[in-house]
Structure 1
Amino acid sequence: MVELCRIDDRLLHGQVAVTWVGAVAPEAILIANDEAATNEMSKLALKMAKPAGVKLAVKTIDEAAALLNNPKAAKIKIFLITRTIQDTLRLVSMTDQIHRVNIGGVKNKEGGKMIAAAVCLDNDDLHDLMKLRKRVDEVELRMVPTEHRISIDKYLREEEVEV
């Protein structure tokens, strides 16, 4: 069962490995990103960042969906990490196992607006977040578990999103 899905463009790094893994207390970390899953150097770096005592799987989005849809996964406490909002939306459209999403790192891009520390969203991101929000119970902004949760809902008023 997916305890939490975190969107973080850096995937698994020190802050995630220490604070989020400590807060979520997963049995396994599942990283779902096509590029990371097909790049041996990326996989090696992610394995080096993995905390002791937790299993790690690095899968493409399709492979991650298949893994999450396997009934055996329901018995495992999983911390899911994706690189982008688009990866998460794609994965959520392929499985009903994701209920809570945390946004912790979306890199700065042209046309984007910083809405929180390390979270820069453009109009495409906001539209994708609207779709994502309709499919899951909660989408929050929070860098670390000790911070106050900020619901993404306050940024998703359709009349304020440019097309």
Structure 2
Amino acid sequence: MVMDIRLARIDDRLIHGQVATAWSKSTDISRILVVSDEVAHDELRKFLLKEAAPPGVKSNVITIKKMIEVYDNDLFEGIKVMLLFTNPKDVAQLVQAGIHFTSINIGGMRFTDGKRMITNFVSVDDDDIKAFRYLDQKGVELEIRKVPADRKVNLIELLQKEKKT
């Protein structure tokens, strides 16, 4: 039995208003797993993320290694899960380890030095693009949407258009 992943989302803000309300309702989840080595080793962020989960939804912060270990664990049988990531490289690591995703939702990747904006809320650098291209080659849909009601924007098509300009 593998985990019932209702949504896998990259959003460096992790659990916040949009996730807590719109996404958790539309996906009918009961558990949020934040998968990040960096966050898993930050006690304050872990505490704040547990507090930010919507009522009736449990949240945990785990390492990439732990996610690989629990992916096909009976512990999660019958539990509808949302996975949250801060970046595409972590998702690529899981796919390399044999975890299957049909789709990854990209909700927000903030602008920092060395990144370029491809939408008003998604910024990428070369490592991000490399990870996204790997996921695309593995057949994973990469769709940009802030909230469920938004129109899906295909990340790879957006990158290809950007290259031509």
Query: With structure 1 as the length reference, what TM-score do the two structures score?
Result: 0.88
Match of 2:123 in 1: 120
* 2: CA distance, partners of 1:146 / 1:58: 27
Matches within 5 A, 1:104-143: 104-143=107-146
Q: Which amino acid aligns with 1:142?
A: R
Report the RMSD for the aligned CA atoms in angstroms. 2.1
Deviations 1:67-97 (A, max 9, x none): 1132443532111001111111112222324
Whether the 8 Å contact between 1:141 and 1:150 is mirrored in structure 2 is yes
Q: Which amino acid aligns with 1:52?
A: P
Q: Structure 1 residues 136, 57: CA separation in 2 closer, same or farther (over 3 Å shift)?
A: farther
Match of 1:27 in 2: 30
Whether the 8 Å contact between 1:69 and 1:95 is mirrored in structure 2 is no
Q: Structure 1 residues 138, 46: CA separation in 2 closer, same or farther (over 3 Å shift)?
A: same
Instruction: Please give the secondary structure, in 1, of the residue aligned with 2:143.
Output: strand
* 2: CA distance, partners of 1:3 / 1:120: 25
Q: Structure 1 residues 46, 136: CA separation in 2 closer, same or farther (over 3 Å shift)?
A: farther
Whether the 8 Å contact between 1:68 and 1:97 is mirrored in structure 2 is no
* 1: CA distance, partners of 2:138 / 2:79: 22
Structure 1 residues not aligned, in runs of 5+:
none
The question of 1:15 aligning with 2:18 is answered: yes
Q: Structure 1 residues 11, 149: CA separation in 2 closer, same or farther (over 3 Å shift)?
A: same
* 2: CA distance, partners of 1:67 / 1:53: 22
* 2: CA distance, partners of 1:42 / 1:57: 11
Question: Share of identical aligned residues, percent?
Answer: 35
1:19 is displaced (CA, Å) by: 1.2
Query: With structure 2 as the length reference, what TM-score do the two structures score?
Result: 0.87
Match of 2:68 in 1: 65
Instruction: Please give the secondary structure, in 1, of the residue aligned with 2:19.
Output: helix
Instruction: Please give the secondary structure, in 2, of the residue aligned with 1:6.
Output: strand
1:121 is displaced (CA, Å) by: 1.2
Structure 2 residues not aligned, in runs of 5+:
none
The question of 1:52 aligning with 2:49 is answered: no
- Corresponding residue pairs, total: 161
* 1: CA distance, partners of 2:127 / 2:140: 21
Question: Of 90, 94, 101, which aligns to 2:93?
Answer: 90
Q: Which amino acid aligns with 1:102?
A: N
